[in-house]
Each structure stands twice: as structure tokens, then as C-alpha cells.
Amino acid sequence: MSRKFFVGGNWKMNGSKKVADELLGNLVKGPLDPNVEVLIGVPAIYLDFVKEKAPCSIYVAAQNCYKTEKGAFTGEISPSMLKDIGIDWVILGHSERRQIFQESDTLIAEKVNHALESGLSVVACIGETLEEREAGQTEAVVAKQIKAIKDKICNWQNVVIAYEPVWAIGTGKTASPQQAQDVHKILRKWLADEVNETVAKTTRIIYGGSVTSSNCRELAKECDIDGFLVGGASLKPEFVEIVNANQ
């Protein structure tokens, strides 16, 4: 069973209408490998603007959403609101949400479940800190994070897992292809053991953490790396080269 390569750009809290236009222009110019699914994670306030302008071959994603449909949750947005403006994807559990906004495994799992039930597809992020890696806890940490999600969902069809070691995000320190492959392999085995073989074989596990046009090709060669989630470099023209890492 082959898994289609998947590359997401996470713009984080960056940009403006002008910048969004430039980034979209760059993607339209491409050319982008047609065998790759491409997603851009856009600040909530620009979702509608970007969705109107993006070619339909590019998925436009929110970077967060809440776990219920509506109510007294000031400042939050719901999956049904995203669907209402034509957004079909959301990134959940990013390490910045976990660390800066104190989102727990449980809250993230509840958000993933509600997003899926509302018809969104989800990029679910997991990954260990440097302290955890140095303490030899990488496997236990990612297993705990993915288990929290598994306990709340029953269908993995619309889930992409992003393995993003926290120590590699925005630091310029990329995991080596071997380090990334090792964890991706562990995660795929975990899915086979704890969910089932089909889910293990079909679920995309993408890598994130200082991916650039210089390191993407080596990473893409690893058999369990099915694409990337890209922060900083998604705001630069080199994002096109990262999308095309397999060419």
C-alpha cells in the first residue's frame, strides 16, 4: 500500500494579506510535484482570504481549533466554523500549543476527535523535548502522545501524524535522517500493534523540525518518512523545493 507524499507549511503567527499573496504566488508558480499533497497552515484571521485565492489542489489548514461546536469559549474557533468557510484541514497538538499554551495530551486528543467527527482532516503533531531525548524517553513520550489520540478516535483515515522533535523546531538542528527514521519506524510499529496493520501501512507519518531545501532530499529517502511539516522554510521560496523533495 503506497502512501502519498504529504508536505505541509506551517506559517505560524506570520504574514499579512500581502505576504499571503506572495506565498501563494510562489506556490502557483511552482511547479509542484503533482504526486504530493500540499497543505498550508494559515493564521485564523487569513483563512478565508487564503482559501478564496488558493488553487483547490492546495489544502488550506487552520493551526488550531477547539473541541466543541459552539459556546462560551472566548477567542476560540470551532471545526464547524472552519467547515463553514470551506476549510477542510486543521493542525492540532503543535509543540507551541503544547508548551506555550499548556495544551495537554487529553485536550489535544479531544480536539482531534471533535475535528474528525466534524468532517475535518487532521495533522496531529507529537514529539519529545531535548531533555526527554537525552533521558532516553523518546519512545515512551511519543507513545503516550499517540495513545492519548488513539483512545479518543475510531477512524484514522483522515489523520496525518507529524513527528516533530521539539529540539529541532525552529532551532536549525534537524534530526538526522536516521534519527527521524528510527522514530517513524517505532510509530508505525506502534500503530500496527495498537491499532491495526492497515492503519500502520496507510497512515502518513511526516517529519518536522528545521526542514530546508538542503536537508529534505536525504530525509525523504527514508522509507517511513512520508513527507514534512515545515515552519520557517514554508515562508520562503525554497518551500517549493521541499515539496519536490522526491523528484
Can residue 93 be called a binding residue for ligand PEP (CB under 6 A)?
Answer: no
81 vs 146 by CB, closer to ligand PEP: 146
113 vs 234 by CB, closer to ligand PEP: 234
Can residue 166 be called a binding residue for ligand PEP (CB under 6 A)?
Answer: no
Q: How many CB atoms lie within 10 A of CB 206?
A: 27
Size of interface with ligand PEP, in residues (CB under 6 A): 14
Cβ proximity of 62 and 77 under 8 Å: yes
Query: In angstroms, what is the minimal distance from the CB of 217 to ligand PEP?
Result: 16
Q: Looking at 195-238, list the stretches that DSSP marks H as alpha helix, in order from N- to C-terminal side.
A: 197-202, 216-220
Contacting residues for 31 by C-beta, under 8 A, at least 6 apart: 240
164 is a catalytic site residue: yes
184 is a catalytic site residue: no
Can residue 165 be called a binding residue for ligand PEP (CB under 6 A)?
Answer: no
149 vs 175 by CB, closer to ligand PEP: 175
Q: Left (φ > 0), alpha (ψ -120 to 50) or beta: where does 203 sit?
A: beta
Tell me the C-alpha to C-alpha distance, in Å, between residue 125 and each of 22, 73, 129, 237: 27, 23, 13, 24
Can residue 164 be called a binding residue for ligand PEP (CB under 6 A)?
Answer: yes
Distance, CA of 204 to CA of 36 (rounded, Å): 12
What are the E-state strand segments in the chain?
A: 5-10, 36-41, 58-62, 89-92, 121-126, 159-163, 205-208, 227-230
Which of 96, 103, 132, 164 is catalytic? The answer is 164
56 vs 100 by CB, closer to ligand PEP: 100
Q: Give the footprint of ligand PEP on residues 12-41 (CB under 6 A).
A: 12
Which residue type does 27 have?
L
Query: In angstroms, what is the minimal distance from the CB of 210 to ligand PEP?
Result: 4
Can residue 10 be called a binding residue for ligand PEP (CB under 6 A)?
Answer: yes
Q: Which residue is nearest to ligand PEP (CB)?
A: 231
Q: Give the footprint of ligand PEP on residues 177-236 (CB under 6 A).
A: 208-211, 229-233
Distance, CA of 145 to CA of 169 (rounded, Å): 17
Which listed residue (107, 169, 205, 225) binds ligand PEP by CB under 6 A?
169
* Residue 95: closest CA among 236, 229, 240: 229
Which listed residue (170, 202, 214, 237) binds ligand PEP by CB under 6 A?
170
* Residue 90: closest CA among 68, 67, 120: 120
Residues that bind ligand PEP in the complex, under the rule CB under 6 A = 10, 12, 164, 169-170, 208-211, 229-233
Residues carrying an active site annotation:
94, 164
